[in-house]
Amino acid sequence: MIKRSAVQRAQARALEMLKRVGIAVTPQEAAGIEVAELGLGEPERTGLQLLVYVNNDRYCAKELILFPRQTCPEHRHPPVAGAAGKTETFRCRWGRVWLYVPGTPARPLRARVPAGSEPYYTVFREIELQPGDQYTIPADTLHWFQAGDEGAIVSEFSSTSRDETDVFTDPRIRRIPEIVED
């Protein structure tokens, strides 16, 4: 659960990052920035901010805004109601992000697995994305990612997003935020 004032601070910070790198955002879009704190009570460390441009029955486009060293934890996008799981392409716009997928583990990791969550991170093939780099993640593939020391902005282009059906390795995670008034 996250307080409304904390959501507003994170939205303002995400908006400032978007503006700093020249991504134009309308007032309506700014008000709709989602703060996914994931129910762990540590939004600066685990979670992300999302600005969804479009999400319909065929495709989705959004910006993923990550604060310095913020981690989106390990998860996958499974098939839902007969529809294939989400395939997504990440394109780094600003900063640096380390993406982890199944495969030969990196040694050492450049990202830092959040303390206390180590058992819930199982894939460690490291893909470093810098501005202009992109990577496509097949449907139903375990993955997680973390921003570098200055944060990161990643454009996501995907098939339909059904975030509420994402399957996280960590059973403590709640994808849909619970916002409480101050």
**Location of structure tokens 């496509």:** 136
Q: What is the DSSP letter of 80?
A: B
Q: How large is the average pLDDT for residues 152-181?
A: 91
Task: Locate 75 and state its tokens.
Answer: 């998860």
Whether residue 1 is predicted with pLDDT greater than 90 in this model: the reply is no
For residue 163, the model assigns a pLDDT of 86
Q: How far is residue 153's CA from residue 20's CA, in Å, rounded to a whole number?
A: 11
More confident of the two residues 44 and 144: 144
For residue 115, the model assigns a pLDDT of 94
Amino acid at residue number 165: T
Q: How large is the average pLDDT for residues 152-161?
A: 97
Q: How far is residue 34's CA from residue 84's CA, in Å, rounded to a whole number?
A: 25
The whole-model pTM stands at 0.95
Whether residue 123 is predicted with pLDDT greater than 90 in this model: the reply is yes
CATH number at residue 144: 2.60.120.10
Domain that holds residue 140: 2-180
Q: How large is the average pLDDT for residues 33-53?
A: 94
Q: What is the pLDDT of residues 69-113, one digit of tens each?
A: 999 999 999 999 888 999 999 999 999 999 999 999 999 999 999
Q: Name 4's Cβ contacts closer than 8 Å, sequence gap at least 6.
A: 179, 180, 181, 182
What percent of the chain has pLDDT above 70?
100
3-state SS class at 16: helix
Whether residue 2 is predicted with pLDDT greater than 90 in this model: the reply is no
| Domain count of the fold of the chain | 1
For residue 179, the model assigns a pLDDT of 77
